[in-house]
Amino acid sequence: MLNLKKDLVVIGGGPAGLAAAKKAYDEGIEDVMILERDFELGGILPQCIHNGFGLHYFKEELTGPEYAQRFINDVKERNIEIKLDTMVLDVTKDRKVYAMNKKEGFLEIEAGAVVLAMGCRERTSGAIGIPGTRPAGVITAGTAQRYTNIEGFVPGDEVVILGSGDIGLIMARRMKLEGADVKAVCELLPYTGGLTRNVVQCLEDYDIPLMLNHTVTAIKGEGRLEAVEISEVDENLKPIPATAKTIKADTLLLSVGLIPENELSKKADVVLDDRTGGPIVNEGRETNIEGIFACGNVLHVHDLVDWVTEESQIAGAHAAKYIKNSFAKTNKCVDVKAGENVSYVIPQKIELEAGDRKKIPLYMRVSTPLTAVDINLYADGEKLYSFSEPFAKPGEMISVPLAQKTLDDLDNLNEIKVEIIEKEGE
């Protein structure tokens, strides 16, 4: 067993972990280690070979591997220690990290601070309990993406996709480009789960039918998938039996949601938010456990990697402050609450001393699609101010800053609440 000591241990070498490590380094913490379970850095980005990354952060359009490579280069230039093919097995609340790899064997690392950046996983067919058989050919869209773009295999040639999350939309186009017959993308809800630009560029441009209010009601086939039964659903999202029809398919890709991977967080007694599936954090992205921070998709599922980078820099900067002992909490905590039509807000609490309050953006998602909205902020029940947006979609994250006046006034507040409502009369 190898015993190590590090100022900062970052668990996960995807976009979140890379940005957090880089930021912490630039804030003066040079003793940083990134632990990555895959054989390369970049997380999910290396398999995202399509473009559309970096428009906000770099103001240019990059592919996933390009976006990742910029941060990989940055981390390597800084000589940040990287351990690949290394699985973290355990994290304790006193920040001991237990990990393993083939080269060094078992590692016990005592960390000054820990950044959790493990990302998320895909919801599976078992988790949503689709009736029918369990043949080969039913896989999540992200796994299909890995097979296609990293391993070099195409799962099948007659494809149905369930769920209109971004990976599902991207894979509809990708399978089409590989010569597959993509028969339909079915979405249970009356609206898509992915970005508007993906609906246009991945489905409409390739004449792939998008079937809203439809779901897969049976999986058929003994060895390999032979067909799926799809049905329209009523306003309560219950399938209407009379509408059931069978589509011949050898491949069913699932894009039915992402789940933050917090099994390690739980081992360190990190408290999770039921709505996000990720840790409850303050504005520095510190969890309830002192010195353990979280960012990226392990915290909440993001729509764009650009926001992951932004958030991870916040976590990295505060982890650096924590290590330097310049991280101080006020005696009281301001709760940030999700009001009407808001499914969640990050951070869930504000509790750091005023010196840290230069800028606090609130990230949120709307729970249902709305048009012509007011985003209203309240402090202890009193309306502070509003932002207007032409529309709000659950698939697209919303970020609003807290005004300087509010920041200055925080010590006198108990609660900030955000609601998103459609403008009256429009």
Partner 1 sequence: MSKKYDVIIIGAGISGCAVAWKLARYNLDILLLEKEADVATGTTKANTAIMHAGYNADPDKLKGRLNVKGNEEIREVSKKLNIPYKEIGSLVVGLEGDDLSVIDELYQKGLKNKVKNMEIVDRDWLFEHEPNISRDAVKALWAPTAGVITPWEAALAMAQNAVANGVEVKLQTAVEDVLTEEGKVVGVKTNQGDFAADYVVNSAGLYADEIAKMVGIEKINITPRKGEYYIYDHAKDFAVNHVVFPIPTPISKGIVVTPTVENNLLIGPTSENVESKTDLATTKEGLKEVYEGAKKLYPDLDLRDTIRVFAGLRAADDTEDFVIEAAENVKGFVNVAGIQSPGLASSTAIAGYTADILRDEGLTLSEKKNYIETREEPVRFYEMTNKERAKMVDQNKEYGQIICRCETVSYKEILDAINSPVGARTVNAVKRRTRAGAGRCQAGFCGPRVVDILAQELGIDPTEVKQEEGNSQILEYKIKQLLGSRVMGNA
Interface ranges with partner 1 (CB under 8 A): 1, 37, 85, 87, 89-90, 98, 100-106, 121-122, 124-127, 129-137, 139-140, 142-143, 146-148, 150-157, 177-180, 217-220, 222-224, 250, 263, 266
Q: Distance of alpha carbon 60 from its chain centroid, rounded?
A: 21
CA distance 169 to 210: 10
Is 15 within 8 Å of 71 (Cβ atoms)? Answer: yes
Nearest Cα to Cα of residue 349 among 400, 417, 294, 409: 417
Nearest Cα to Cα of residue 10 among 102, 104, 106, 99: 99
With respect to partner 1, which residue has the nearer C-beta, 38 or 374?
38
With respect to partner 1, which residue has the nearer C-beta, 55 or 150?
150
Token pair of 229 as six digits: 């039964």
**Region for 42 from its dihedrals, namely left if φ exceeds 0, alpha if ψ lies in -120 to 50, beta otherwise:** left
With respect to partner 1, which residue has the nearer C-beta, 78 or 267?
267
Positive or negative, the Cα torsion across 233, 235, 237, 241?
negative
Provide the minimum distance between the beta carbon of 80 and partner 1 in the complex, in angstroms, as a whole number: 22
* Neighbour count for residue 168 (Cβ, 10 Å): 30
CA distance 214 to 231: 6
Classified as helix, coil or strand, 65 is: helix
Provide the minimum distance between the beta carbon of 61 and partner 1 in the complex, in angstroms, as a whole number: 24
Provide the minimum distance between the beta carbon of 143 and partner 1 in the complex, in angstroms, as a whole number: 5
Nearest Cα to Cα of residue 256 among 124, 397, 126: 124
Token pair of 275 as six digits: 């709505």
Provide the minimum distance between the beta carbon of 407 and partner 1 in the complex, in angstroms, as a whole number: 37
Is 161 within 8 Å of 256 (Cβ atoms)? Answer: no
With respect to partner 1, which residue has the nearer C-beta, 255 or 309?
255
With respect to partner 1, which residue has the nearer C-beta, 60 or 151?
151
Provide the minimum distance between the beta carbon of 134 and partner 1 in the complex, in angstroms, as a whole number: 7
Provide the minimum distance between the beta carbon of 149 and partner 1 in the complex, in angstroms, as a whole number: 9
Provide the minimum distance between the beta carbon of 236 and partner 1 in the complex, in angstroms, as a whole number: 15
With respect to partner 1, which residue has the nearer C-beta, 148 or 313?
148
Nearest Cα to Cα of residue 200 among 208, 188, 211: 208
With respect to partner 1, which residue has the nearer C-beta, 265 or 309?
265
